[in-house]
A and B are shown apart, each in its own frame.
Chain A
Amino acid sequence: MTESGRYLYAIARGLDPSVLAGVPALAGGRLEVVEHRGLEAVVSTVDLEEYGEDGLRRNLEDLAWLEEVARGHDTVVQAVATHAPAAPLRLATICLDDDGVRERLDSSHDALEEVLDRVEGRREWSVKVFARPRPAPQQAVPQPTTGGGAAYLQRKKAESQAREADESSAAVVADEVHERLAVRSVAGRRLAPQDPRLTGRSETMLHNGAYLVEVDEGDAFAALVDELASAHPEVTVECHGPWPPYSFATLEQQ
Chain B
Amino acid sequence: MTSTLDVGASGGTTVEPEPVHGRQIALVDLLDRLLGVGVVLAGDVVISLAGVDLVQVRLHALISTIRSDMVEPR
Judge whether B28 and A198 touch: CB under 8 Å. yes
Judge whether B30 and A218 touch: CB under 8 Å. no
Grouping DSSP codes into helix (H, G, I), strand (E, B) and loop, the A interface class, with mixed when no group exceeds half, is mixed
Instruction: Identify B17's interface contact among A14, A71, A192, A218, CB under 8 A.
Output: A218
Judge whether A70 and B31 touch: CB under 8 Å. yes
Indicate if B36 sits at the interface (CB-CB under 8 A). yes
Indicate if A219 sits at the interface (CB-CB under 8 A). yes
Judge whether A194 and B34 touch: CB under 8 Å. no
Judge whether A218 and B36 touch: CB under 8 Å. no
Query: How near does chain A come to B73, taking the closest CB pair, in angstroms?
Result: 17
In chain B, what residue has the closest Cβ to A194?
B28
Give the chain A neighbours of B17 by CB distance below 8 A: 215, 218-219, 242
Classify chain A: how many residues form its interface, as a range.
35 or more
Judge whether A241 and B16 touch: CB under 8 Å. no
Indicate if B51 sits at the interface (CB-CB under 8 A). no
Give the chain A neighbours of B22 by CB distance below 8 A: 240
Give the chain A neighbours of B16 by CB distance below 8 A: 82, 215, 242
Judge whether A246 and B34 touch: CB under 8 Å. yes
Classify chain B: how many residues form its interface, as a range.
20 to 34
Judge whether A215 and B4 touch: CB under 8 Å. yes
Indicate if A121 sits at the interface (CB-CB under 8 A). yes
Instruction: Identify B30's interface contact among A60, A70, A121, CB under 8 A.
Output: A70
Give B contacts to A, CB under 8 Å: 1, 3-4, 6, 9, 13-14, 16-17, 19-22, 25-41
Judge whether B6 and A199 touch: CB under 8 Å. no
30 example contacts (A-B, Cβ-Cβ < 8 A) are as follows: A66-B31, A71-B30, A74-B25, A74-B30, A74-B34, A90-B35, A191-B32, A192-B37, A192-B38, A193-B38, A194-B29, A194-B32, A194-B38, A197-B41, A199-B26, A215-B6, A215-B14, A216-B4, A218-B17, A219-B1, A219-B3, A219-B4, A222-B20, A240-B29, A241-B20, A242-B16, A242-B17, A243-B19, A243-B25, A246-B34
Instruction: Identify A216's interface contact among B1, B6, B26, B35, CB under 8 A.
Output: B6
How far is it, in angstroms, between the C-alpha of A215 and the C-alpha of B6 when the chains are bound? Answer: 9
Judge whether A126 and B29 touch: CB under 8 Å. yes
Q: Considering the complex, which residues of chain A in the window 32-89 have a beta carbon less than 8 Å from any beta carbon of chain B? A: 60, 66-67, 70-71, 73-74, 82-83, 88
Judge whether A83 and B14 touch: CB under 8 Å. yes
Indicate if A91 sits at the interface (CB-CB under 8 A). yes
Give the chain A neighbours of B21 by CB distance below 8 A: 238-240
Query: How near does chain A come to B3, taking the closest CB pair, in angstroms?
Result: 6
Would A195 and B39 be within 8 Å (CB), given that A218-B4, A219-B1, A241-B20 are in contact? yes
In chain A, what residue has the closest Cβ to B23?
A78
In chain B, what residue has the closest Cβ to A195?
B41
Indicate if A108 sits at the interface (CB-CB under 8 A). no
How far is it, in angstroms, between the C-alpha of A216 and the C-alpha of B16 when the chains are bound? Answer: 9
Query: How near does chain B come to A109, taking the closest CB pair, in angstroms?
Result: 21
